[in-house]
Structure 1
Amino acid sequence: MAGVLLSAAVACVLLAGAASASSSSPRVFTVGGVERGWRQPAPGEETYNHWATKNRFHVGDFLHFRYDKNDSVLVVTRDDYKRCGADRPVLRLEGGEARFRLERSGFLYFISGSPGHCDAGQRFTLRVMAQRDNGAASPTEAPAMSPGGSFNSTPGSGSGSTRMPPRGNAGDGKTSGAAPFGAYHAVGAALGVGAALLAFAPPLPATISDPPSTAASFPAASPMASRLRLGQPNPNPGLSPSPGERKGEEGEARKPEPRREVTDLGGGSEVVHIPRFMSRETAWEMFEHLDKRIPWTRPTIRVFGRSVVQPRDTCYVADKGLTDLRYSGHQPHAHSWDDFPVLKDILKEVHEALPGSHFNSLLLNRYKGGSDYVSWHADDEPLYGPTPEIASVTFGCEREFLLRKKPTNTKSQAAGESGETARKRLKASAPQQHSFLLKHGSLLVMRGYTQRDWQHAVPKRARAASTRINLTFRRVLP
């Protein structure tokens, strides 16, 4: 009998411990890394959004900010994040060091309070998952929070500015810093049964720690208002992987495969379009970084024997030792990938989306408005080989991308004909054409004999009033 009671007690205690551990295993993430911390990024340095995408944040985790005492951390709304608005923050952290607890699921937005730092890239957004994955690694153990809901900070760090407003649960008026009502009762019931059973059994070595004390955090909003403002497609993001999600080697849930649209052009030519290759927030961070940090040039080129200014800005990046790129009488300077770590990160994502691809060069184009364009052409230079794969990533303003079959010389054939026969021949021989609307964060890939048999263009469009940045990845043959 004692053995049965002991087994039941162990089961109850382990169940309570598991329930407690699932809600009391917070992690601490040092924003930007231990060595870097929170400061204005140097040219070519990894963005804070890139740092954020490498981690998975859950309710109860902490962000540890280390920064100069003349700087600050502002928690802002999405609109203020996009415009770097520091005049009405939801919360201000000052004093050189502070810890911020992630109290709810959804998106949060952080910027620097120092003038000009946000525009220079000192800002990031992250998504907080509602439930922690089993077996998730813990960067460091979270410290105990001080009573009353203020953030832990170093002495003299201005703790008065780091106290959060209370957040109420919908309908019950209770502070949301407490753990879920059902979770505490489940733990309490299990502990009560375990204690009753343990009265008849030998002492157990297992111990159960109390749930950590909590702090008030971000002000609450109704679920619908939060989804509309923060753009959450799922009212409970992160609760469990969707059926379309894949599992990594460590069991970590990965984002679902983006939708692919494949267009067979015939004759061994193919176009693959991934409209949502990159999330909107990440894509906007990329756009702003590239727009300000890339050494754009607008060179003079030769077109039909005339010297003209190229109707778009460009920059070229390539591996060392490759054949020089030349087009329209212009040879761009080849920058190193090491000069732009962000481009290396984007290249990695493109390679992951296109298994078997091996791009080693990149031509960046910036269209500053609807009057910037690229005329009909094909990337059929010998240095790319007979069947090059070309991947194009778009940031910013959406633009129309056209493909047409390379025109044939039919006018000479129709010269000796007249009337209806000539018109029918010319109409039948009109080049076949396809149109793709390349939106912010999309990826388009041309494969096979597309460059041999087809031409492409980005035409002028008066309605395209804002800037588009395009990254075109290619492989130069050795």
Structure 2
Amino acid sequence: MTPLARHPLLALTPLYDATAAQALFDTLCAEIPWNDGDYTAAGRRFRLPRLQCWFSDPGATYRYADNLMNSHPWTPTLAALRARVEAVSGVRFNAVLANLYRDGEDAVGWHADDEDDLGPAPHIASLSLGATRRFHWRPKPGVVGEADALPLPAGTLLLMRAPFQQQWEHAVPAEPAVRGARLNLTFRNVVAPA
């Protein structure tokens, strides 16, 4: 995977053509047991502006917003996708977080995937299926660099190389004009607690 000229820690490659990407989108939307979109943080219940589901190897647990994600075993479709993503990226993964953005109103705000569960320097591979959405990034305070964005069409794989999560934040903001759904799979490697 070749780094983007606009950011040396990001690499983007087409992984599936439009027909294959649509078939994967349809299959995964039907077979993933999506959650109800609610989570608890700081003792309060919130509605997540997208649906999620966590898949992992046995023992690969993950906390997000102080919530332990309920893990599901890999489906045959996801296991095949993991093998392809690992072959292309050169990185091994033991978990994937599936996010379903039902339309352009669903979003994810500014954040970094820098939780302790992911180790000190995680690599994360993000496969986009369905509607094209814009991926934004900006430097964390004290980091030199420029904010920017790029579209992620269906079938593209974005690799966020270390130390991207330690130095940068990213987001997929709402785009009300987008009518279609987007499915995003973020492959991760969860480390065992020390």
CA distance change for structure 1 residues 352 and 430 in 2, over 3 Å: closer, same or farther? closer
Q: 1:433 aligns with which of 139, 147, 156?
A: 147
Other-structure match for 1:329: 66
Q: 1:272 aligns with which of 1, 7, 11?
A: 11
Alignment of 1:459-478 (within 5 A): 459-478=173-192
Higher relative contact order (CA 8 A, sep 6+): 2
Are 2:96 and 1:382 aligned? no
TM-score by length of 1: 0.38
Other-structure match for 1:403: 137
How far off is 1:464 after superposition?
1.2
Give the Cα–Cα distance (whole angstroms) in 2 for the partners of residues 463 and 430 of structure 1. 32
How far off is 1:261 after superposition?
4.8
Alignment of 1:193-208 (within 5 A): none
Higher helix share: 1
Give the Cα–Cα distance (whole angstroms) in 2 for the partners of residues 299 and 380 of structure 1. 22
How far off is 1:432 after superposition?
2.4
How far off is 1:305 after superposition?
6.4
Paired residues, number? 192
How far off is 1:332 after superposition?
1.8
CA distance change for structure 1 residues 431 and 354 in 2, over 3 Å: closer, same or farther? closer
Other-structure match for 1:349: 84
Are 2:95 and 1:361 aligned? yes
Name the larger-Rg structure: 1
How far off is 1:326 after superposition?
1.1
5+ unaligned residues in a row in structure 1: which ranges?
1-258, 409-428
How far off is 1:329 after superposition?
2.8
Give the Cα–Cα distance (whole angstroms) in 1 for the partners of residues 86 and 114 of structure 2. 22
Give the Cα–Cα distance (whole angstroms) in 1 for the partners of residues 81 and 182 of structure 2. 17
* Conservation of the 8 A alpha-carbon contact between 1:300 and 1:330: no
Identity of aligned residues (%): 34
Are 2:50 and 1:308 aligned? no
Give the Cα–Cα distance (whole angstroms) in 2 for the partners of residues 387 and 299 of structure 1. 28
Show CA shifts across 1:85-132 (max 9, x none): xxxxxxxxxxxxxxxxxxxxxxxxxxxxxxxxxxxxxxxxxxxxxxxx
* Conservation of the 8 A alpha-carbon contact between 1:403 and 1:435: yes
Show CA shifts across 1:231-274 (max 9, x none): xxxxxxxxxxxxxxxxxxxxxxxxxxxx8453474xxx610011
How far off is 1:303 after superposition?
5.4
Alignment of 1:104-123 (within 5 A): none
* Conservation of the 8 A alpha-carbon contact between 1:403 and 1:433: yes
**What root-mean-square deviation, in Å, do the aligned CA atoms of Structure 1 and Structure 2 show?**
2.1
Are 2:128 and 1:394 aligned? yes
Give the Cα–Cα distance (whole angstroms) in 2 for the partners of residues 332 and 303 of structure 1. 13
Q: Match of 2:127, SS?
A: strand
Give the Cα–Cα distance (whole angstroms) in 2 for the partners of residues 405 and 326 of structure 1. 24
Q: Which one is further off, 446-455 or 290-299?
A: 290-299
| Partner amino acid, structure 2, of 1:396 | G
Other-structure match for 1:290: 28
Alignment of 1:62-461 (within 5 A): 260-263=2-5, 265=7, 270-274=9-13, 276-302=14-40, 306-322=44-60, 324-337=61-74, 340-355=75-90, 357-407=91-141, 432-461=146-175
| Partner amino acid, structure 1, of 2:39 | I
* Conservation of the 8 A alpha-carbon contact between 1:261 and 1:273: yes
